[in-house]
Structure formats: structure tokens, C-alpha cells
Structure 1
């Protein structure tokens, strides 16, 4: 963990307001530190900031896209994995405030934690500088993702659902078959099966990501 002076310099360099030390310290603090205040409330706020900012951006940029297409891209761009990717790109892991055990367990590289903290930082930006500033920051940090392919291809779970229907099979069934590790570094293993066809499984940092990976694995094997 770095001191506030270094953290403030890093935040400002990445476009954050970073004036209120207590606010930004809270945004970077994981519950494992046991200080009573952590990033969860700001994450709740930042999640809504990100969703609205991205939705408005897509609405402007893709004026002929259907609601379904916009929703598909939105879901991909605000996903935990997308947020974690942005967090890594600006160096969030070096400034996370984690308890010793959480850090030793790899919490600083956890996609779940990094995704949450990225949202909490947006929440802090809203609190300190307002929505216009937070929206501008989203457009800066998410520009590569929005201009790229994120969410343009059909989501693996949707693709599998359509494949099953098209082949006159029952809908795919997902089952959580294992959960391991501490809460801040949990691993989920999910199996997806289609009756009279087969099954596939995958492990990831969240149940949703594991389901997506399992659907992708199924399509690669049977599709």
C-alpha cells in the first residue's frame, strides 16, 4: 500500500478529482482491513454512474442499433471483468488497501475486487465532482473498450440457448458444482449440460463468469 501523497498523485494523473483524502481512501479500502469503512457504498453508487454513462454513450454512437444490441454491449462493458480490465490498465492493484491475509491470497489481482473498486472510484468522482465529471472520466477510461469488440459478438450463454433451440434440444441447464477459496478470492466451478448432447464445465472468479466460460466451452466442443 502506498501513502496518500503517492495515491493522490496517481489518482490525479488518471483524471480523478482526489481532494478529499477520507473519501478516496474509503474508495480504495477493502473490508478485510477492518477499519469499519470500505468501498462497498461507493461501489453501489459508481455502478449506477457507469451504467448510465455507458448507456447514454452507446445510445448516441449506435443510433440504428436495436434495444437488444445496445443491451448486449452495455452488459459487456459494465461487467465485472470489463471494470477489472480498466482497473488494471490504470494501476489500481498498487493502491488497493487490503488486509494482510487478503493480499497474501491474491486479492490485489482478484477481478471481483478490482471490478468493485473501479466502480467505487467512479462513485467517489461523482461525490466530489458531480456527474458531468464522472461521465467524462468514464468516456476517457472506457474509450478503448467502447471502440473495440466488447459485447459485439453474441454472448456465449445466448449463443448456446439459441443453438439448443435451433437443434430442438431442451434449454441448457447450469449447476454450481464447486465453490472454493475465501470470499475475497472465491473460485466457482459451473457445469452446463444439454440433455442428450453432453456437458462442459469451467472455473472462474464469479458464478456468472464461470457460466459464461462453461457455455463457451460447450459450444467449442459440441457446437
Structure 2
């Protein structure tokens, strides 16, 4: 079964300094038909204006992944971590028993474009944690590179959730296939460009949920950057 989520149907919050599209219900955007998919709870496509950002705020019991597409995001948290997240880098923050952090775009002339992703953790009350790794474009060109997983295999970021995340870049004749476990769920989010997913054409911001499907086939990409989630049902 395929479930199409069109970009234009997402929730939108425009705060001036922040323009955010919500794939699933979030904050003031409530849609009972889109509360999440498997244990994937949030995908927000955020654009942060130059010199602005999210002030210090708290989270609990959530695995939070940040994936920067353009620009740079400065991160500071109550665990003592401070880093800039750049395109090609994946950051995982385990909120666990509670963490406070801030995120800012300190650039003067460039917006920061990134995806904020929340996954339900495998257990509550974990000790807060943080990890960040870079994945070069050549590692994702024409293939799905594992960038986050429960066991940190293949050099991926470790997730404390029953989920994994792959990222890929596709153009022209480049294709990829992935065998799926029909007992699990798969969510494909197209961050930019265009791409065919199991015969379904997607444009930037579109997503496709797969349930009970035996394989994933990506083809016909044009400037495509795609994220593929393997999720607990």
C-alpha cells in the first residue's frame, strides 16, 4: 500500500523569521489524519532567516535528527555541546530525561534550510545524548547511504529508536533498489528535486509511505535528494 503526502497539503507556519512546513501534526497545526507514520512523529522543513533562530527550549523522551540542506545551523545544548551543522551532516540528539538547546543561523546573507525530524524512542527516560557525523555527497551519489541506525553500523549515527535512515542523491539514469520487510513501514521524503518512487512521481517536499511492500525502487531523479526511513509498524 502506498500513501502519498503532497508538499502543498502540509501544514504551514510562517513566523517571519521562520517558515516551516509540517508533514505531520505539530504545534498549532493539527491534522488527525496525519499524526505520524509508524514511530516517525515529525518532519518539519524549516527555513530560518539570517541572524535568527530558536532560543533555548526543552525536549524530553524523543530522538531528534537534524539534516541541513543549505546554510548552517549553530547548536548549543545543556549537555555542553556546541557545533555548527552543515550540509551533508546528520545530528542526533537524545532528549531522554530532559535537555535544553538552541539553534541559530548566524549568517548575515543566507537562510538556513533544514529538516527537523522526531522519532519515538525505544524506551523512555534515557540519559540525554548527542552525536553528529558528516556524510560526503559522493557516498550518497546514486545510492542510499545509511546515515542513522539503532546499532550505528556502517559508520552511521546511532539512533535510540527502532528505525533507520538512509539518504541518497539521484540524477538521470541513476537508480536504486532496496528490499523491504513488509511487516515494517517505509517513509520516503523528497527533500529537493524530482524522483519516481515505486512508479509514483514525487516533487520536492512530497513524501510517500509504504506499508506491506516488498521493495523500494527509485528512478528518474532530477536534482533529487531523498531520505528513506525504515520504521517500526
Question: TM-score normalised to the size of structure 1?
Answer: 0.26
Structure whose residues are more often helix by fraction: 1
Structure whose residues are more often strand by fraction: 2
